Structure 1
Amino acid sequence: MKKNNLLSMNNVGIVVKSLDDAISFFMELGLKLEGRGMVEGEWAGKVTGLGNQTVEIAMMVTPDGHSRLELSRFLTPATISDHRTAPVNSLGYLRVMFAVDNIDELVARLIKNGAELVGEIVQYENVYRLCYIRGVEGLLIGLAEELSKK
């Protein structure tokens, strides 16, 4: 029997144009800024395969401390493509889904701060209310409110 070497998920990376705007958006969503700094040099490029690179990052953490988003702004090399506003049926990584409380209040607040509701807030049986929003820079974000905990 093969041993499972997976211990946990460390983070999900999202490349953005404006790190300040992304930090503000995800803080409004409820994440905390855990740290911010530069990742640069040949060693980093060996990991990514991009060669010598300079990237400003911010690590955002969920209130429970278990999940993180690594927001990255590439200074060098420049970004070469943009998939942020791809529709929901596009190939590749699509969205990040967050468990939330009071989805109506949160969506209203995020819309006041520039987010757009993609479709509608819908109810799935008596289990969840959920929706997709386009947040900062058009990033697709899923929100799910569990109803059974109420």
Structure 2
Amino acid sequence: MTVKRLDNVGIVVHDLGAAIVFFTELGLVLEGRMPIDGEWAGRVTGLHGQRVEIAMMRTPDGHGRIELSRFDAPAIVSDHRMAPVNALGYLRVMFAVEDIDGTLARLKGLGATVVDEVVDYAGIYRLCYIRGPEGILIGLAQQLGQQADREDPIAHSG
């Protein structure tokens, strides 16, 4: 086996504080916030002279993390935040939630908007995409009925 686990997904934001508030309201826990710079960092990313502040957010189960990054240098070169769902490249992160309606109510107070609508998938899931802070695309999934009491069949399928 070559991969042991997925450690984190990185999201670059303009307003790190607002993104932390949003993901905290979603249910993630702030593990830490710190500046990253120095010659070693540029050798990893290819952005020599970078100055970035990161915040590591952890899911309540401890298995997933999001690394939020705000770059002070070099300047941002492109913006994919409002790309439609069929754009090439990394697009969104999906979170399993207990109560999609309650989650949406809390996040709407922080500016989140549903992309189109909440849908029922075969009585198994309620699903939607939302635009979060700065237009970041986020998926929400709530298992329904007896499926919610068992292991997630989609997450564990081959």
TM bucket (normalised to shorter chain) is over 0.9
Larger deviation: 105-114 or 83-92?
Answer: 105-114
Identity of aligned residues (%): 63
What is the match of residue 56 of structure 2? 59
TM-score, structure 1 normalization: 0.96
> Superposed, which structure 2 residues align to 1:134-145 within 5 Å?
134-145=131-142
Number of residue-to-residue matches in the alignment: 147
Cα deviation, residue 149, structure 1: 1.5
The separation in 2 between residues aligned to 1:138 and 1:89, in whole angstroms, is: 15
The separation in 2 between residues aligned to 1:17 and 1:26, in whole angstroms, is: 15
What is the match of residue 20 of structure 1? 17
Q: CA RMSD in A?
A: 0.8
Query: Please, which of 119, 124, 134 is the counterpart of residue 121 of structure 2?
Result: 124
> Superposed, which structure 2 residues align to 1:43-122 within 5 Å?
43-122=40-119
Cα deviation, residue 59, structure 1: 0.1
Moved over 2 A (4+): none
Cα deviation, residue 109, structure 1: 1.6
SS where residue 55 of structure 2 aligns? strand
What residue identity is the alignment partner of 2:123? N
**Structure 2 segments unaligned to the other structure (5+ residues):** 150-158
TM-score, structure 2 normalization: 0.91
